[in-house]
A and B are shown apart, each in its own frame.
Chain A
Amino acid sequence: MIAFREVHKAFGPKRVLEGFTLDIPDGETTVIVGHSGAGKSVALKLIVGLLDPDHGSVEVDGQVVHALERDQLMALRARIGFVFQFAALFDSMTVAENLAMGLRRRGVGDGEIVDRSTEALEVVGLAGSEERYPAELSGGMRKRVGIARAIVLRPRYILYDEPTTGLDPVTAAVMDQLMVRTREVYGVTSVVVTHDMRSAYTVGDRIAMLYRGQVRQVGSVDAIRRSHDAVVRQFVEGRPEGADDAERALGGTR
Chain B
Amino acid sequence: MLRFITSRIERALLALGRLGVLFADLGRGLRDVETWPRLTLVQMRRIGVDSLPIALFISIFTGIVLALQASYTFTGAVPLYFVGSAVGKSIMLELGPVLTGLALAGRVGANIAAELGTMRVTEQVDALETLAYDPTSYLVVPRVLAATMMFPVVVAVAVAAGVGAGLVAAVNLLELSTVEFVHGLRLFYQFKDVWFGLLKSTSFGFAIALIGCAWGLGVRQGAEQVGRATTKAVVVSAQMILVLDAFWALLLL
Contacts and interface: CB of A to CB of B under 8 A. Distances in A.
A interacts with B? yes
Interface of A: 45, 48-50, 70, 74-75, 77-78, 80-82, 84-86, 88-91, 101-102, 105-106, 149, 153
Nearest to A159: B130
Contacts of A75: 132
A74 B134 contact: yes
Given A84-B123, A85-B123, A106-B132, 19 more contacts: A45-B126, A50-B129, A74-B132, A77-B129, A77-B130, A77-B132, A80-B130, A81-B130, A82-B127, A86-B122, A88-B123, A88-B126, A88-B127, A89-B124, A90-B124, A101-B131, A102-B132, A105-B131, A105-B133
B124 to A, nearest CB: 5
Nearest to B131: A102
Contacts of A88: 122-124, 126-127
A50 B127 contact: no
Contacts of A91: 122, 124
B8 interface: no
B28 interface: yes
Interface in B119-141: 122-124, 126-127, 129-134
A49 B130 CA distance: 9
Contacts of A77: 129-132
Contacts of B130: 48, 50, 77, 80-82
B144 to A, nearest CB: 19
Interface residues on B, range: 10 to 19
26 contacts: A45-B126, A48-B129, A49-B129, A50-B129, A70-B28, A70-B134, A74-B134, A75-B132, A77-B132, A82-B130, A84-B123, A84-B127, A85-B123, A88-B122, A88-B124, A88-B126, A89-B124, A89-B127, A90-B124, A101-B131, A102-B131, A105-B131, A105-B132, A105-B133, A106-B132, A153-B131
A48 B133 CA distance: 13
Interface of B: 28, 122-124, 126-127, 129-134
A80 to B, nearest CB: 7
B142 to A, nearest CB: 14
Contacts, number: 49
Contacts of A84: 123, 126-127
B127 A90 contact: yes
B126 A50 contact: yes
A169 B131 CA distance: 30
Contacts of A102: 131-132
A70 to B, nearest CB: 7
Contacts of B127: 82, 84, 88-90
Contacts of A48: 129-130
Nearest to B127: A88
B32 to A, nearest CB: 10
Contacts of B124: 88-91
Nearest to B115: A92
Q: Which of A49, A101, A106, A149 has the most CB of B within 10 A?
A: A101
Contacts of B123: 84-86, 88
B90 to A, nearest CB: 40
Contacts of B122: 86, 88, 91
A85 B124 CA distance: 11
Contacts of B132: 74-75, 77-78, 102, 105-106
Nearest to A146: B127
Nearest to B125: A88
Contacts of B126: 45, 50, 82, 84, 88
A70 B133 CA distance: 11
Contacts of A153: 131
Contacts of A106: 132
Contacts of B129: 48-50, 77
Nearest to B133: A105
A78 B126 CA distance: 14
A89 B130 CA distance: 12
A141 to B, nearest CB: 16
A225 B15 CA distance: 51
Nearest to B122: A88
